[in-house]
Structure 1
Amino acid sequence: MNNETALKLLKQVLQIPTVARDESKIADILANLVQPYVDQGMMTVDRVNFAPGRDNLLIKLGQDTASRRLGIDAHMDVVDAGDSAKWQFPPFSATEHAGKLYSRGASDMKSGLVAAFAAFLNTAQKGNLGDRQLVFFATVGEEVDNYGARQFAAGHYADGLNGLLVCEPSGPQIQPSCRGIIDYTVTASGKAAHSSTPEEGANAISGLFAYNAAINKAVAPLLAPVHEMLGHATHSIDLISGGNQVNIVPETASLRGNIRTTPLADNAAFTAALKQAVKAANDQVPGVTLSLSVDSTIDPASSAKDNALVQSLQNARTSLGMPTVPVVGGTGINDAAVMALPGMDLAEYGPGSDTSHQTDEYVEIDDFFNAIQVYEKVFANY
């Protein structure tokens, strides 16, 4: 697949608005492109359904018995485009302008998806795989809760891989680690009363205030340790609601928090701190009861800074006349947090810009083309 054809394919998949739906349309396109290789016995294709119109895609090149097995991960969904009137070009138009391609998902992460797929096909065409296997994962629902990656992990599809390359936009750097995540909800139940006689009620919002004080104290020791690659863990309360009228003591209230964990302050430690804070707050406001729901939890994924996949990426760049890039930890989360297994080489590396999830999201077309070249080198040499 030459650059012109790869760019045409990227535009095609960008024009499919896979906002928590319709990933199967992209899976159809990719599956059709590899069907000639399947017919020749060079590849196998499997689809793992998550929901109607939402199929994960798994393509294998090479044998399961190969001595080196590399997983390649990219997701097919994108976040909502927001107010399309604020975009320079329509958000799903895949408009090419001044060396950039504008579209929702251009950076995060359909450019990485298509660049890796193009390199995957080119590797098959060259027939230089040797005693290696490439396993291409195209997932659904990464932007919500890594739905597709969870299915692949639960089905043991990543078992036995030596490395996992996540083709997310990484900027001019390689990320061999990523933080974990916890999303949680605290709900407070009290008693309504007229605001002129608040003593007759139990203010649910006051219960949340008590929880806020308790959780800040409980997580303080967990926020202090600094991991070499991932820095320190974080906690923030990002959503809060309660009450229904200004002259009524609120009977119910709730908040939602987000935590990013590290191996030094992991998900189990933070979950214990959440429970401790809820218990402490329950004793602070008479008549108010708080309950905790851990809505999502994914452990951090950590790999050595100089692992073989990182080295392969750096060597690929230098062989193509590109400079080496910094190796840093990723503060965000990606499919590797679900799919990576102990001892597996991990690297996040892909084309994109700092406009992911933003209005006027774009990818530099040259960055997309360069990624194809780097991936081809890695697929042949890792």
Structure 2
Amino acid sequence: MSQAAALAPVDPVALTADLIRCNSVTPLEGGALVLLERLLSEAGFTCTRVDRNGIANLYARWGTRGNGKAFGFNGHTDVVPVGDEAAWRFPPFGAEVDGEWMYGRGATDMKSGVAAFAAAAIDFVRETPPDGAIVLAITGDEEGESTDGTIALLDWMEEVGERIDVCIVGEPTCPEEMGDMMKIGRRGALTAFFEVIGKQGHSAYLHKVINPLPAVALLGHRLSTHVLDEGTDHFDASTCAITTIDTGNPANNVIPARTKMTVNLRFNDTHTGASLTEWLRSEADRVAEETGTQITMTTKLSGESFLTPPGDLSTLVGKAVEAETGRTPTLSTTGGTSDARFVKNHCPVVEFGLVGHRMHQVDERVRISDIEALKRVYTRVLTDYFAD
């Protein structure tokens, strides 16, 4: 037996705990990527830090593409703030274990996922070195603006000629039980910011003012009640939700000069960010003309909708999930955005990870047995992928 084969398997539970103990609230690196770089380098991965604008990112590759294949994992080590620390049962960066659970910020989203695919990749290349490459692209900017994280890694890959053929993003995807859902796409996300401008004056003299509040109410009603579509084969119907209306008027006898409204759209592949922006602009212009107000609008596109059609990649992952959990994962496009929206521009991508309904909460926690099962799923995916 070779020295490499004799090494003890990487424990994904212990690695999860080590990562949780790194305070890596975006944009802090907190030692998480330093820890992973050391571990992966010792296992023979070539590691490159791809930091940009103060954001830490890690690209780790084992092997060379050559005539073989390249399999990728993507994930993040940054986490959201802890909120009220006094409300936590255990210290949020303590990785405390109580029964079958490990507690800590990032326990679910998604330090356990990163630990599982890192452990699977290291053990796999030690025990059955494949003809090809395994790549881990790990960012510290998924929970923030996401402009200098996975995007920076993909930009760097293009610059230096690095490529992967397929990728799993290790986000938590299962709503209730380990293995019950895989993501094969995501809805797009667009936020629109409106400012409605009228003419200020006394509320007793309405003929001398232009009240922006009825205008913003009319615009909000039209946008939020409009049926964008009925859904598609793989997506739910698109939605438009008012998230805030802000006037800041402390007086009850003054018509304000202006008010603001924000709406958030989650959309399927019937639309694009450009087409929805055009619709929003036309509705705003129509209300402005009807009410005599001026309406300005800016938008922020967080990501277009995308779909990896059911096929070889989803079948590969689905069979591995079923073999290790006994469940056939539903193929879904529900939920918010993830970095898969960037990876899909590079190669086919699906998402599979742990049960996610405790992420971002006080007392975020992960079931220890699920971490172990996730490592087994990822190991089986690698085994089956490179066996073909």
- Same fold per TM (> 0.5)? yes
Greater mean alpha carbon deviation, residues 153-162 or residues 255-264: 153-162
Q: Which residue of 2 aligns with 1:358?
A: 361
Contact 1:27 1:56 in 2 (8 A): yes
Q: For 1:324, which of 319, 322, 328 is the aligned residue?
A: 328
Is 1:60 aligned to residue 23 of structure 2? no
**Cα distance, 1:117 vs. partner?**
1.1
Q: Which residue of 1 aligns with 2:12?
A: 6
Where does structure 1 lack aligned partners over 5 or more consecutive residues?
A: none
For 1:181 and 1:48, how far apart are their aligned partners in 2?
27
Q: Which residue of 2 aligns with 1:116?
A: 117
Alignment of 1:121-132 (within 5 A): 121-130=122-131, 132=132
Q: For 2:278, which of 272, 275, 293 is the aligned residue?
A: 272
Amino acid aligned to 1:331: G
For 1:258 and 1:125, how far apart are their aligned partners in 2?
47
Contact 2:249 2:256 in 1 (8 A): yes
Q: Which residue of 2 aligns with 1:236?
A: 241
SS in 2 for 1:324: coil
Q: Which residue of 2 aligns with 1:374?
A: 377
Greater mean alpha carbon deviation, residues 208-217 or residues 235-244: 208-217
Change in 2 beyond 3 A, CA 1:373/1:204: same
Q: For 1:163, which of 155, 166, 171 is the aligned residue?
A: 166
For 2:282 and 2:157, how far apart are their aligned partners in 1?
34
For 1:289 and 1:201, how far apart are their aligned partners in 2?
13
**Cα distance, 1:348 vs. partner?**
0.8
Report Cα offsets for 1:312-355 as digits up to 9, x if no partner.
2233234446333222223321101122138x432110123411
Q: For 1:175, which of 177, 183, 197 is the aligned residue?
A: 183
Q: Which residue of 2 aligns with 1:255?
A: 261
Alignment of 1:18-29 (within 5 A): 18-23=24-29, 25-29=31-35
Greater mean alpha carbon deviation, residues 353-362 or residues 4-13: 4-13
Identity of aligned residues (%): 23
Q: Which residue of 2 aligns with 1:209?
A: 217
For 1:50 and 1:282, how far apart are their aligned partners in 2?
42
Count of aligned positions: 370
Change in 2 beyond 3 A, CA 1:67/1:232: farther
SS in 2 for 1:143: coil
**Cα distance, 1:156 vs. partner?**
4.8
**Cα distance, 1:173 vs. partner?**
1.5
Contact 1:352 1:362 in 2 (8 A): no
Q: For 2:294, which of 286, 289, 295 is the aligned residue?
A: 289
**Cα distance, 1:100 vs. partner?**
0.7
For 2:326 and 2:48, how far apart are their aligned partners in 1?
36
Change in 2 beyond 3 A, CA 1:88/1:257: same
For 2:11 and 2:165, how far apart are their aligned partners in 1?
31
Alignment of 1:38-187 (within 5 A): 42-52=44-54, 54-130=55-131, 132-147=132-147, 148-157=149-158, 160-171=163-174, 172-187=180-195
Amino acid aligned to 1:244: N
Contact 1:179 1:332 in 2 (8 A): yes
Q: Which residue of 2 aligns with 1:194?
A: 202
Q: Which residue of 1 aligns with 2:319?
A: 315
